[in-house]
Amino acid sequence: MPGWIIPPPKAQTKSRAEFQQERKEKVRWLVAQGYLKSERIREALLKVPREEFIPPAYRDYAYREVPLPLPGARATISCPHSYPLFYEPLGLDRGHRFLEIGLGSGYGAALAREIVGAEGLVVSVEIDPVTYAYAKRNLEAAGYQDIVLVLGDGGPGCPEWAPYDRICLTAACLMVPPPLLEQLKVGGRLVAPVLEGSAQYLALHEKRAEGIEKIILCEVLYVSLRGRYGVREVS
């Protein structure tokens, strides 16, 4: 799988109406490609203005299938298809208690907030203080005041709001940190990019009374998890 080629920074030229049109076209494309099936996830993707979670120098590329750089160390907003790629197999739905490890831009948390609705809960953890501050500003500006934002290492999870119905890691790990599986309800699901050799696979984990069932979904390419359960980077 090739690495991502990030387009060059440039001044924003597109209007609000142009972004809205691109958002609608992207949602149609996600349905046509088979990434997007659920009506709640579709509505969320149509509603949340992705461009407002992207730094101005990359905003014109908001609906391109590339991850884009964010303030902070190696942080990116994932490419548009990543969100249904994670949320569809999770079966993220109304009323769920959802934990995200890797807040990034805040866009994934905003989508999740729309999907789980007022009856649900979204908790998102970010390890990088610069990225965290950026996401917090984005979410406040977009009117999301009821997402629990935590600055710190998400590897140990967030026990004060556990148990969770659904958990996702948006950074690649060698193995899912055991505290996250502990904080998942029986019947709950967790999605994470997991490293195997030099490749990464998106893996769905379902917690049963008898143990964890793991299914590999597809090959992916994500930034590495940092912190206590992180992947040591070779620089």
Ligand X SMILES: C[S@@+](CC[C@H](N)C(=O)[O-])C[C@H]1O[C@@H](n2cnc3c(N)ncnc32)[C@H](O)[C@@H]1O
What is the contact surface with ligand X in residues (CB under 6 A)?
A: 72, 75-78, 101-102, 104-105, 107-108, 125-128, 131, 153-155, 170-171, 222-223, 225-227, 230
CB 149 within 8 Å of CB 103: yes
Q: Give the C-alpha separation, 96 to 161, whole Å.
A: 12
| CA distance linking residue 188 with residue 140, whole number of Å | 29
Question: Among this protein's residues, is 38 annotated catalytic?
Answer: no
Minimum gap (Å) between residue 88 Cβ and ligand X: 16
Minimum distance of ligand X from residue 150's CB (angstroms): 8
Q: In angstroms, give the least distance from the CB of 170 to ligand X.
A: 4
Strands of the sheet with 211-220, listed across from one edge: 148-151, 121-126, 97-101, 164-169, 184-196, 199-208, 211-220
Nearer to ligand X, 124 or 165 (CB): 124
Choose, from 15, 38, 78, 224, the residue flagged as catalytic.
78
Which residue lies nearer to ligand X by CB, 12 or 224?
224
Burial class (CB in 10 A: 0-12, 13-18, 19+), 56: exposed
Q: Which of 176, 158, 84 is nearest to 149 (CA)?
A: 158
- Which residues face 192 on adjacent strands? 203
Q: In this structure, what are the phi and psi dihedrals at residue 229, rounded to the nearest 5 degrees?
A: -105, 20
Least Å from the CB of residue 66 to ligand X:
12
Question: What minimum distance in Å lies between the beta carbon of 147 and ligand X?
Answer: 12
Q: Select 22 or 126, whichever has its Cβ closest to ligand X.
A: 126
What are the Cα distances from residue 147, in Å, to 83, 136, 179?
17, 10, 21
Q: Which is nearer to ligand X, 120 or 156 (CB)?
A: 156
In the complex with ligand X, which residue's Cβ is closer, 122 or 125? Answer: 125
Strand-pair category, 97-101 with 76-77: unpaired
Which of the residues are catalytic? 78
